Amino acid sequence: MNKLLSFVKLDYMTLKPYLTWKTALLFLAVLAFIGYGTGEVSALVGMCMMFSVIFACYPFAVGDRNGIDTLYATLPITKKTVVIGRYVFTLALNLFIGVASLLVSAILMMALKKDFNGADALIITLVCFALFSVVEAVQLPIYFRFGYAKAKLLAYLPLAGFPAVVVAASTLLGKKRLFPFLENVFSWVQANAYVTAALAVILWASIMIFSVVLSLRFYMKREF
């Protein structure tokens, strides 16, 4: 456990140089612009959580650039610790950014005198947390398999994948068939909120476990 926490701390140290006040102020300015332009909490939270996907790749990028994976091989750190630690760091990062995005959204929306519903904002944050962590669950095995330099283009395809699926579905089914279908899905979700939540948690956990297993399999075969 101590080695795992030490590894998570090491991942944080690779990200720390990029967490400056200048970056934070620029980030807040972008969020304020989005909040003023859209008035939507979902846009603010979604933008914040997108940064979690970007930040999550930094340890891989720094590792590739400085040969840190080779260093791990000389230390008493198992490859399993590296993989599990990277997932713990990524989820912790998502959780931190999710909470921060919720607080920042509340402050900005009230400062801009826009409507803000705390319960709805919390649900939006949880949904964004789940969606972006699933995106990362797709990306991490790719990074562990090929390394950042070789996989960075391929790993960002999942971010473009969801809009592409929506556009493809809209084209193939047509808006007259797609929108009623989505309305039926949302109606079922609202009528079966607890069942939907339970199924969503089970699906999310299954995806994360499968991702971890895949990453372990890939990383164990890599040689440094």
CA distance 133 to 136: 5
Instruction: List CB contacts of 128: < 8 A, sequence separation 6 or more.
Output: 42, 45, 46, 48, 49, 98, 101
pLDDT recorded at residue 24: 78
Residue 56 backbone dihedrals phi, psi, to 5 degrees:
-65, -25
Contact criterion met (CB below 8 Å) for 101 and 49 = yes
Whole-angstrom CA distances from 118 to 80, 102, 115, 146, 186 are 39, 9, 10, 41, 21
Please give the DSSP secondary-structure letter assigned to residue 166: H
Nearest-CA neighbor of 137 among 202, 222, 78, 204? Answer: 204
Contact criterion met (CB below 8 Å) for 4 and 76 = no
Per-residue pLDDT in tens (0 to 9) along the chain, 224 residues: 677 888 888 888 888 887 788 877 877 777 777 777 777 777 778 888 888 888 888 888 888 887 777 777 677 778 888 899 999 999 999 999 888 888 888 888 888 777 777 788 888 888 889 988 998 999 999 999 988 888 877 777 766 665 565 555 555 555 555 556 666 766 777 777 788 888 889 999 999 999 999 999 999 887 76
Sequence ranges of the domains in the chain: 2-221
Contact criterion met (CB below 8 Å) for 116 and 191 = no
pLDDT recorded at residue 26: 78
pLDDT recorded at residue 41: 74
147 torsion bin: left (phi>0), alpha (psi -120 to 50), beta (else): left
